[in-house]
Structure 1
Amino acid sequence: MHYSGWTDKLAAVFGGANPVSGPYFSYSAPEPTGVVAAIAPADSPLLGLVAAIAPIICSGNSVVLVADKDTPNIAILFAETLATSDLPNGVVNILTGQAAEIMPYLASHADVNALDLSAASQELRISLTEAASGTVKRVYSPRGEPNLRAAPGTARIRAFMEIKTIWHPVGAVSLTAGGSY
């Protein structure tokens, strides 16, 4: 799968040394955002679950996914498969029900760090974005309908990573003009 190939390459592709003019160096490294709430697309139940989960967890995040209300059995069987896999407990959490009822709670919850609204309707996107503003979370809401058969790309991976930049001095730095304190 496309996303599993990215897990060991994220730091090399999205991070790196930054050119600086001065007696210090700087580098940037990607970090996971944290807990991401997402909605699974309804048009393809199993592919929708995997397409919603994979780009979020491949960069180290946890996901709370609201599965399609019309096909909860597939989501439950998939959750059982994940529970018996090598995936650590709590990385993937699947809820079944209506996204319009569940997502407002997740959007306003302080322990949820980001929202993936790729599969949300336009009306739901607006209300969830407003609810998320109260706790200042990242919101990924691409234009148009989700296309599960399109080439995956890296947009959804990058949406749930934060880039941490570190500045470090090189050599001894004097605290005063005379060189002593």
Structure 2
Amino acid sequence: MATKKESRVEVKKTYKLFINGAFPRSESGRVFEVTAKNGDFIANPALASRKDLRDAVTAARAAQSGWSKATAYNRGQILYRIAEMLEGRADQFEAEIALTSHLTPAKAKVLVAEAIDRWVWYAGWSDKLQAVSGATNPVSGPFFNFSISEPQGVVAIASSDSFLEFIDAIAAAVVSGNTSVVLVPGGLAVPAMSFAEVLATSDLPAGVINILTGSLDELAPWAASHMDIDGFDISGIQKKKHGGLKEAGAENLKRIHSFGSGKTPARILAFMESKTVWHSVGV
């Protein structure tokens, strides 16, 4: 005898943070609300605290040595794999961005395609950076003098609510061997944590990219004053607040930059340092 089909119970997704390759809840237990364009409730992502930021920096610092010592080819291949996984989940990102932003589904589709292409573009720079930024310097005496570029270390990123700019900032920071702590505003929380799921199932070592959702007004000053963060991309912060962040970052000579839209290798090189090596001729 046929029975009436029961309606399904919707499985609600719990959005957490992404730290050291895992998905912990905020230690504060705080959350915030994300709604759709029409005001319908979507989710309660975690509202990251100062302790969460410290944990993310610790994870990024621990991962930095291994990531920077990986060959440029290896880093590039790992980033290419992430692009492949983004391509495979493009429909999901398009739906989430259309749901939580002011973009139409058609515009969201274009944005996601551009973001994937942008990630591939930055990945392609992994084994070309030294050719662009390195140099053999003319010196007096029987010496060779070389300048080579090295990653700066741990880079914090304050993202805007644009998924494309979020992708831009992360790819530019990590392709050279830096690790990152990404601060994500509320409007981007849902696609940002879906991106974290991509990272967690890729070949990316734990701690290379850490993602914290919450309030940039809270998190950015803490990142600026944190003594174990070497660089800070503040492109997602209002310009009127840049001065305070640069002042807070001055104590440990933190390199703080803001970038406009568009892809450029200058965004990669901004968080690299030049090391000069002297070598005797004939030795």
**Which of 151, 154, 158 is residue 32 of structure 1 equivalent to?**
151
In structure 1, runs of 5+ residues without a counterpart are: 173-181
Q: Secondary structure at the match of 1:167?
A: strand
**Which of 233, 240, 243 is residue 116 of structure 1 equivalent to?**
233
- The structure where helix makes up a greater share of residues is 2
Whole-Å separation in 1 of the counterparts to 2:211 and 2:219: 12
Q: CA shift at 1:86, angstroms? A: 0.9
- The structure where strand makes up a greater share of residues is 1
- Per the alignment, residue 172 of structure 2 pairs with 55
Whole-Å separation in 1 of the counterparts to 2:271 and 2:187: 28
Identical counterparts, % of pairs = 47
1:18-60 CA distance string (max 9 Å, x none):
1222111100111000000111121x2x323211101000111
CA-based RMSD of the aligned residues comes to: 1.4
Q: Could you tell me which amino acid in structure 2 is paired with residue 34 of structure 1?
A: G
In structure 2, runs of 5+ residues without a counterpart are: 1-119
- Per the alignment, residue 136 of structure 2 pairs with 17
Q: CA shift at 1:169, angstroms? A: 2.2
Whole-Å separation in 1 of the counterparts to 2:143 and 2:165: 46
- Relative contact order (C-alpha < 8 Å, sep 6+): which is higher? 1
Q: CA shift at 1:171, angstroms? A: 4.8
Whole-Å separation in 1 of the counterparts to 2:166 and 2:238: 17
1:96-133 CA distance string (max 9 Å, x none):
01111101111111110001112211122111101000
Residue 140 in 1 paired to residue 251 in 2? Answer: no
Whole-Å separation in 2 of the counterparts to 1:34 and 1:139: 13
Whole-Å separation in 2 of the counterparts to 1:155 and 1:14: 10
Q: TM-score, normalised by structure 2?
A: 0.56
Determine if contact 2:154/2:179 at 8 Å carries over to the other structure: yes
Determine if contact 1:65/1:95 at 8 Å carries over to the other structure: yes
Count of residue correspondences: 164
- Per the alignment, residue 97 of structure 1 pairs with 214
Q: TM-score, normalised by structure 1?
A: 0.85
Q: Secondary structure at the match of 1:71?
A: helix
Determine if contact 1:100/1:124 at 8 Å carries over to the other structure: no
- Per the alignment, residue 267 of structure 2 pairs with 156
Determine if contact 2:181/2:212 at 8 Å carries over to the other structure: yes
Moved over 3 A (4+): none
